[in-house]
Structure formats: C-alpha cells, structure tokens
Amino acid sequence: MLAASATALLGLSGCMTPIGPVEVTRFHDAARLSQLGHGTIAVESAAGLDPKSLELASYKLAVGRELTRLGYDVVAEGAGAQVAVVRLERATIQPDGGRSPVSVGGGASVGSYGSGVGLGIGIDLSGKPKAQVDTRLGVMIRDRASDQTLWEGRASFTVRADAPLAQSQLGAPKMAAALFSDFPGNNGQTVEVK
C-alpha cells in the first residue's frame, strides 16, 4: 500500500514544474472603470493576426474564461457592447553557445620573500544553454460604439522551450489569469504575478 502511494506521488511529481512569474502591466481610464466587468463582450483577434490560428485560439479562449470570471457575458465575434482585442507574440530564443567550455588563468608574484607563479584551469560542465520561448500577450478592452479603449493589459512570460508551459494549451490559462488578477490593476504599474 505504501509503495503504491509513493509510486503515485512520484508519478504526479513529474507533472509539476516550477512556474516562473508573469510580468504584467495594465492601463485604464479611472473615469471609465464603472464600465468594466459587466455587460456583453466579444473576444477578437488583433489586426494582422491569423484569426484561424490554433495557438491564438488557445489564448483567446483563456481570455474569454477570465472575462466570464470577472462578470462579463462573452458573446460571438462582431457582437457585444465591448470588445477584447487579443494580440499574441511568441518567439524562440536561442542562447549564444559560442563560449569555450574551458578557461585558463595565470598569475605571477614577486616579493621580498621570493616569487611565485600560478596557473588555473576551469571547466564548464553545464552544457549548452537551453532555448527559451518568450510569450507576450496583450488585451485591449474597447467600447464598440465609440472605439475608445477602456482598459489595456500586457503580460510576458519566458520559459525553457522544453518546459510544459511553453505549450500554448498550458501557458495560455496561466498568462490570462495573471493578466486579469486583481482586475483592473494599478494604472501603469508593472508587477510580477506568480
């Protein structure tokens, strides 16, 4: 029985990964705060993005869930009194692996009690740095009739390319939850959400 429990816990621990913070910045018009968090809203792709992208769809779905949690009634694209315009940028960063794994240093000294020479060798055993995925999510909530921006938020998150959170299906909910935590947030302040 104990062995089975230990095996189950060991299996679950493989699913857990350390989660780094999401950097979030939000902006809003204090005079329009009463318009936020209720009514109908459509979640739409920003201009220039492929609205049929599966990756973008994961983020739009996550944003829609957060807007529902806040009290909005999420409706089909093109409808709604307000619109949440979603922008997504993802890039893979390849670290420069051009440094030598071996370093050599030397030194010499001369003094009244004699002289000395020294040589040091350092070997880097850490291997080549891993590629990372940088994701940036931006959402603007606009009044559809006047096209005025009521709220804007940006979130950025960088993880190793081989980490589970580098996948859109896992990273999208984390980023959207961070972006809309403590909604509407402090105007112009950048915070790290863990």
Q: What is the pLDDT along the chain (194 residues), one digit of tens a residue?
A: 434 433 443 343 344 444 468 999 999 988 999 999 999 999 999 999 988 889 899 999 999 999 999 999 999 999 999 999 999 998 888 876 555 666 666 666 666 666 667 777 777 666 677 787 888 999 999 999 999 999 999 999 888 878 777 777 778 899 999 999 999 999 999 898 88
Listed residue (100, 95, 97, 94) closest to 124, CA to CA: 100
Best CATH choice for the domain 20-92+104-193 from the list 3.40.50, 3.30.460, 3.90.930, 3.30.160:
3.30.160
Residue 102 backbone dihedrals phi, psi, to 5 degrees: -120, 130
Interior angle at CA 58, CA 64 and CA 94, nearest 5: 135
Q: Give pLDDT, residue 4.
A: 42
pLDDT value for 10:
38
HEC string of the chain equals: CHHHHHHHHHHHHCCCCCCCCEEEEEEECHHHHHHCCCCEEEEEECCCCCCCCHHHHHHHHHHHHHHHHHCCEEECCCCCCEEEEEEEEEEEECCCCCCCCEEEEEEEEEECCEEEEEEEEEECCCCCCCCEEEEEEEEEEEECCCCCEEEEEEEEEEEECCCHHHCHHHHHHHHHHHHCCCCCCCECCEEEEC
Tell me what pLDDT residue 128 has: 72
pTM: 0.74
Q: Hey, where are the domains in the chain? A: 20-92+104-193
Residue 59 and residue 172 in contact, taking contact as beta carbons nearer than 8 Å: yes
Tell me what pLDDT residue 75 has: 98
Q: What is the pLDDT of residue 131?
A: 82
